[in-house]
Structure 1
């Protein structure tokens, strides 16, 4: 029971004997605890050092137990203070570690992971280790048959653990049927999503310590290769790239849950359409994403222009920005 304060089983037996006697010599404690004299002498010195006992003057020396509640609580406070100092020191050690690994072994800073099983294992381990933030670029192609939405369960798990998730979706990703609904599901659980007209690659960044770039060609049935980027100037560049694209991209906002909206608010349909128009989607692409005909897209776009007093699609985006809709 007292291992957390540095006492093993043999030490605790001698301490228990002293607590029962309250005052005792080394031979008396050795007899009670069925221990040798050398071991008992070592243990009582440890007890005095921890503040659990005091030594009296005179011959033979006697050891007096300090009231356990006061003594053990004091030891625990010291241990807790030491643990806090150690935790603070972790940050300093990590800075030294990152600085040492950035250039010491440049050949190990980028790993090429091949094989479906190995890629999945490293990707899963990377996600389990995320503590603060996941950042990512999402764009086709996706693995068949449901690659566009397979990541949602994993992301929902991260969000449930309190991890901050920020994702920039390529315009071509949200044009896929049902993809907007998948994105909205993540957002309702806390994901922050944006859309860009030209996301440069697939990318996931775990905190500031690791990134993975999946390698997948159109038509590939599964993801079988990836680059794994360790702390390095390259990882710093990928983080900077993500932040630059995030800043320029269009925020995705959730409209009202129902089919209609209160005055001054966007309906769910209007929010989706506005998001697509602001990202540069054509009427055909917007219709494919929403399950509408081109004519329906044009009709809703015209209503939206009338509502905000815009003459062009560009003015819709400007007015939506002014109103805080995007």
Structure 2
């Protein structure tokens, strides 16, 4: 709850919210609202009274009334705001010191080493929570650090407007990623492309720092990472990302904007997965449909595009704007 930030426990927050919604309350009235017995409710009322969040009723001192929220939390909120301002000033000062120290880094100090999965998970979360504008990442099998479902820091960053460019290795479609996850990520605002293979795992934040997980599949306990600071090496990693990104297959999961083309969402998803190199059977498995349906859809698309081979279909799909591409005719 929001009130937790202002120094209340979750139980105290629940009790105060319940008390605010009632003219007055005794332990018996409050108990059902806080999921406890009368003794627990009486204890919580006592805590709220000591914190100035509740007062005894004039007509019956066994009953309590909530203190006005503006009065009860106004001073505390102002205190927290002042603490945040001081923290921002201190952070700015530390950032200046860090930049000055970074400028004097030697070649050996451009790269830091992180050892162990717990430390690597923590640093990955910190980097995403601190991202301001953009995150670029290579996602390569095997997944040994954190799965997409566990990476809630990514969801938080996307929600606050950080641009995510995610480049998936095709093998990830067989390990940790399905079409539903891709659709959900795209709907949330992420940009996703698929490459045949990727040279390494990579995570670049704001073009200022990069994380290179080093995974030894035979011994996850010794997994570590390199943390690369601003340098020529970081510039090279960013250039590598841009090169791989430019040649990768953009993932399209919806036929929105292609009205009248005769192409629907399933057609677009089938085309996208086929062009990443998956077999008909693998496409059917990912889309939870039958092999026969995939083959029938592909034949219909070939007829729509007026082509005889699948290679021609891929070319025509881009040219007609069924899939994204530099040469495609965009609708808009």
Mapping of 1:160-171 within 5 angstroms? 160-171=159-170
TM-score of the superposed pair, with normalisation by structure 2: 0.61
Q: Does 1:272 align with 2:273?
A: no
- Aligned residue number for residue 241 of structure 1: 240
Task: Report if aligned partners of 1:169, 1:195 keep a CA contact under 8 Å in 2.
Answer: yes
Structure 1 residue 167, shift from structure 2 partner: 0.9
Residue deviations 1:32-63 (CA, integer Å, cap 9, x gap)? xxxxxxxxxxxxxxxxxxxxxxxxxxxxxxxx
Structure 1 residue 176, shift from structure 2 partner: 4.6
Residue deviations 1:104-151 (CA, integer Å, cap 9, x gap)? 32212112211222112211111121101001111211139x825333
Residue deviations 1:44-88 (CA, integer Å, cap 9, x gap)? xxxxxxxxxxxxxxxxxxxxxxxxxxxxxxxxxxxxxxxxxxxxx
Q: Which segment drifts farther, 111-120 or 219-228?
A: 219-228
Q: Does 1:113 align with 2:125?
A: no
- Aligned residue number for residue 193 of structure 1: 192
> Where do 5+ consecutive residues of structure 1 fail to align?
1-89
Structure 1 residue 180, shift from structure 2 partner: 1.6
Task: Report if aligned partners of 2:143, 2:176 keep a CA contact under 8 Å in 1.
Answer: no
Q: Distance in 1 between matches of 2:290 and 2:105?
A: 58
Structure 1 residue 219, shift from structure 2 partner: 6.4
- Aligned residue number for residue 203 of structure 1: 202
- Aligned residue number for residue 289 of structure 1: 286
Task: Report if aligned partners of 1:141, 1:217 keep a CA contact under 8 Å in 2.
Answer: no
Q: Distance in 1 between matches of 2:289 and 2:176?
A: 10
Figure out how many residues of one structure are paired with residues of the other and give that number. Answer: 228
Task: Report if aligned partners of 1:177, 1:291 keep a CA contact under 8 Å in 2.
Answer: no
Task: Report if aligned partners of 2:138, 2:201 keep a CA contact under 8 Å in 1.
Answer: yes
Structure 1 residue 306, shift from structure 2 partner: 1.6
Q: Distance in 2 between matches of 1:289 and 1:222?
A: 32
SS in 2 for 1:104: coil
**Higher relative contact order at CA 8 Å, sep ≥6: structure 1 or structure 2?**
1
- Aligned residue number for residue 5 of structure 1: none
Cα RMSD for the two superposed structures: 2.9
Determine which structure has more spread, i.e. the larger CA radius of gyration.
Answer: 1
Mapping of 1:207-218 within 5 angstroms? 207-218=206-217
- Aligned residue number for residue 140 of structure 1: 141
Q: 1:217 to 1:291 in 2, by over 3 A?
A: farther
Residue deviations 1:193-239 (CA, integer Å, cap 9, x gap)? 11111222221100111111122244666894222111111110110
